Structure 1
């Protein structure tokens, strides 16, 4: 059996969100390197980051995206890092439309719909902090407790619904 090639993928996250930073660290630790990283730099993204930082106050978090990219550069790997005002807009497509991407990986984003979801050959992957399909949407761990649903996480392909795509894990 031949060696399987690693997928080409874009990685999208909110600006310096701890969740996105940790996801990138884990992805890189497994030898997967994004073709491009696209960060949303927005007031809503800032609010989400600050809420998360407050929740994990005092805990160690993954290095910044810039530090992780600097480590790659020292290894001779250059990954473009683009900042856009919002992912769900015309600002993202010019950066990916000419890339031959197998996947787009969401590293903690807001809801994204439209042509971004249709661009990569094999789909768009999202990790969700709830057991799908029973616990969709935001604040999933709290809703799990409220509705007596086991707490867990899911990984799924994205479609134009909210956490409704085909489950991977």
Structure 2
């Protein structure tokens, strides 16, 4: 489910909007990924992790898929006036993790609570997304990964053009585009 929500949904929506995006050029596709992509690995023979499902591995895999989606999308959209970016928004104080807390041991909840003071506010966390969506200096760049409103080198497996193409083809098949 996590792969479907965090990757396939974005993939399908983006593909459904491609003609409109091209007609509206210059336009942008901004995909919120995560620093967790650095720990992600994609096993094409077990894309849903049926052999060894682990929540954090699944999350990292889906966020790596976001980075690879952006990379392949940038390749496919060269010369169309549509650019694509992926980004890490930072660790943000939201209610996203509310379902994790009850399952955490007491000592982890106690240790975790002071760390939240170092998290970004939702407004701070939105800045890189906004930057990628509107910053004029980015209009001639595409396929890059950003953090804190600056380009950042994605993990080596997030730069793998062959994996990006293979994931694109698999995703297109999974959502019924081919």
Q: TM-score, normalised by structure 2?
A: 0.30
Give the structure with the higher percent strand.
Answer: 1
Which structure has the greater CA radius of gyration? 2
Give the structure-1-normalised TM-score.
0.31
